[in-house]
Amino acid sequence: MEVRLQTAPFDPGDLLSVFCAERRETGAVVSFTGLARADGGTTTTLWLEAYPGFTDLEIERLGRGTIARFSLQDLLVVHRIGAIEPGAPIVFVAAAAAQRRSAFEAVDQLMDYLKSRAPFWKKQSGPDGECWIEPTARDVADAARWD
């Protein structure tokens, strides 16, 4: 398992190619790429704050639980922090498993947890100023279905 928090942009295709290389016993790799949204022009920049040594350790803890629950062979999480423009990849999650269902469900669960439970602080900037973003009721409900 690998967790990376980074300010630099990333290419999801490159990450997926490297993650899939040399997998002779893997039956499925499922990935998810989340993009920053412009929200109809209300967001010109998304800001993500994290505390290295805290946020990454919490994501690792969530990832270890996902690996155990779905019997994964491997897991990769790359998450941007800092200023992110609309359309740019913000998060990439890939799960490798012997069977496809495990890989699909693992990525779904981990994204629900990242969206609602990972210690990130999100703020959007736009023409109307800045505002902090909290998990929505749907984000919380999506994560709760895995409990």
The pTM of the full predicted model, rounded to 2 decimals, is 0.95
Q: What is the pLDDT of residue 36?
A: 97
CATH top-level class of 2-144: alpha beta
CA-to-CA dists, residue 61 to 17, 45, 54, angstroms? 25, 29, 11
Mean pLDDT by 10 residues, the chain (147 residues): 98 98 97 96 95 95 97 98 98 98 98 96 95 94 94
